[in-house]
Structure 1
Amino acid sequence: MEHFFTIIGGMGTSATETYLHQLNERTPATNDQEYLNYILVNHATVPDRTDYILDHSKPSPLPPLLTDFKQQAALKPDFFTLPCNTAHYFYDELTKATDIPILHMPREAVKWIGQNLPNAHRVGLISTEGTRADHIYDDEIKNAGYELVLPDDKIQQQTNELIYANVKEKNSVDRVLYHEILRQMFEEKDCDTVVLGCTELSLAQDREPYTKHPVTDSQSILVNKTIELAKKYAQE
């Protein structure tokens, strides 16, 4: 297969399915042959990223992820995508395992803010506690010159409930809860935009869109960047 990319997904599977759905839906294709070539590695048994980040005595996701990247690198994809925000904690180690480019979802999301929301100053972040602890978004947001706004304990607990009790456990989205989380971030925390720093939150945005204020959907942005890069490689 010529000019393809590899998706290292399955963290979680429902969120990866949303990524694929958006990828295929947004690809400008009128027949089978105009869709993108890709391989999906839906590695659902990768240990929980947040569990490990918060407690290093728990099983590490890094060894299985390294194996995935090394195995797929042997097939020589044009690039990799990693549709799991928390897994970017291991980004530097993963890039050392291959010379094939790996798209950096948090970096692309922050770049998107600068390109599309020029008046944004206060950038909120909702995510897993693992992503909060590993600061992968904090550094990107602050280095771009924005003021980072994090949720308080109440909003974080609501976010945890949405991610784990709703999406991961039941593959469902509590629309009222999701919209209330964002309402608080925008109206009480005075955010100019809020980054969805977890792909389960991106799934929630896909199914129950919040449109009252500008949301920065990291996975949706990754989808667009994936299509852009795949088309670029296909033309070479």
Structure 2
Amino acid sequence: MTNPSSGLYLGILGGMGPMAGAAFAERLVALTPAARDQDHIPALLVNDPRVPDRTAAKLAGGEDPLPAMSRGIKLLTDAGARLIAIPCNTAHLWYDELVAASSVPVLHIIESVVEDLRRRGIDSGPIGLMGTEGTLRMGLYQRHLERHGYDCVVPTEGEMTTYCTPSIAAVKANRLADSFEPAAACVRALAARGAVAVALGCTELPLAIPHDRRSEFDVPLTDSIDALALAAIQRYQADTGVARQAARACA
């Protein structure tokens, strides 16, 4: 169990988008082995949607989001956070700069996805990637997965335009009912091209394809929200001396 007097918190830098940040906090609770309130992880969530658009910054010369993200991390650490989780994949294009600006460790969401693939027994093979245009065009997932021995299957330009991007946009606009079909079509397209698993590499996508519909697909889906939550649980418990227990398997 956690020590309520330790004063240590997990800091969650959310708001990118807001529903993804809130969903991460919910999944953190759902995946923590706990028998009572005090067994859960103390967490602080900064869910600030004013962070400038990450894809626009990388691909269209938009406003740099790094200062806003750095301020969010400082706000969390000043409040007592001793470990940071950022439930936004595209934000990790600035990971090195965020680590340099942080006084505490920052988890890496793509490394967490790799851990989740291995947890599922998927140690090699082509992995289908879904994410924002910025994440995929900048090669964020590709670099990490290829370094760990995986191949990558990315959406074509048409699949991005027709399936992936509209699904992410629908979640950001609170139109969850409109987000499933395009996301599902992208999963099936990637599987048809040989993917042995598909990474939901934008934190809006696990909301587009909820847990109770994932059995509809012929390939497993690795969920970047859940992967990061499991990594946060493991790291927090290790750092605070809590006995490491296996987190419940994702539904």
Q: Which residue of 1 aligns with 2:221?
A: 215
C-alpha distance in 2, partners of 1:119/1:80?
27
What SS class does the counterpart of residue 165 from structure 2 fall into? helix
Q: Is the 8 A contact 2:176 2:207 kept in 1?
A: no
Q: 1:128 aligns with which of 124, 129, 132?
A: 132
What SS class does the counterpart of residue 12 from structure 2 fall into? strand
Deviation at 1:76, TM superposition (A): 4.2
Alignment partner of 1:38 is 2:43: yes
Q: Is the 8 A contact 1:54 1:130 kept in 2?
A: yes
Q: Deviations over 1:33-73 (max 9, x none)?
A: 222101101111101111111122x1111111111222323
Q: 1:234 aligns with which of 240, 243, 248?
A: 240
What SS class does the counterpart of residue 170 from structure 1 fall into? coil
C-alpha distance in 1, partners of 2:159/2:133?
12
> Which amino acid in 1 is paired with 2:98?
L
Q: Is the 8 A contact 2:27 2:225 kept in 1?
A: no
Q: Which stretch of the first structure deviates more once superposed, 20-29 or 213-222?
A: 20-29
Q: Which stretch of the first structure deviates more once superposed, 224-233 or 114-123?
A: 114-123
C-alpha distance in 1, partners of 2:77/2:174?
34
TM-score, normalised relative to structure 1: 0.91
Q: Which residue of 1 aligns with 2:103?
A: 99
> Which amino acid in 2 is paired with 1:54?
L
Q: 1:25 aligns with which of 24, 30, 55?
A: 30
What SS class does the counterpart of residue 231 from structure 1 fall into? helix
Q: Equivalent pairs: percent with the same residue?
A: 30
Q: Which residue of 1 aligns with 2:248?
A: none
What SS class does the counterpart of residue 49 from structure 2 fall into? coil
Alignment partner of 1:141 is 2:145: yes
Q: 1:7 aligns with which of 6, 12, 15?
A: 12
What SS class does the counterpart of residue 125 from structure 1 fall into? strand
Deviation at 1:207, TM superposition (A): 5.6
> Which amino acid in 2 is paired with 1:52?
A
What SS class does the counterpart of residue 191 from structure 1 fall into? coil
Q: Is the 8 A contact 1:105 1:222 kept in 2?
A: yes
C-alpha distance in 1, partners of 2:220/2:135?
21
Q: Is the 8 A contact 1:120 1:193 kept in 2?
A: no
C-alpha distance in 1, partners of 2:24/2:36?
21
Q: Deviations over 1:68-95 (max 9, x none)?
A: 2223233442210000000001100011
C-alpha distance in 2, partners of 1:235/1:111?
21
Deviation at 1:205, TM superposition (A): 2.7
Residues 43 and 186 of structure 1: is their aligned pair in 2 closer, same or farther, counting only changes over 3 Å? same
C-alpha distance in 2, partners of 1:64/1:176?
33
Q: Is the 8 A contact 2:124 2:151 kept in 1?
A: no
Q: Deviations over 1:132-185 (max 9, x none)?
A: 122211100111121111111221111101111x11113414333222221111
* Structure 1: runs of 5+ lacking an equivalent: none
Q: Which stretch of the first structure deviates more once superposed, 72-81 or 141-150?
A: 72-81
Q: Which residue of 1 aligns with 2:203?
A: 199
Q: Which residue of 2 aligns with 1:86?
A: 90
C-alpha distance in 1, partners of 2:210/2:233?
18
Q: Which stretch of the first structure deviates more once superposed, 94-103 or 207-216?
A: 207-216
> Which amino acid in 2 is paired with 1:126?
M
Residues 132 and 67 of structure 1: is their aligned pair in 2 closer, same or farther, counting only changes over 3 Å? same
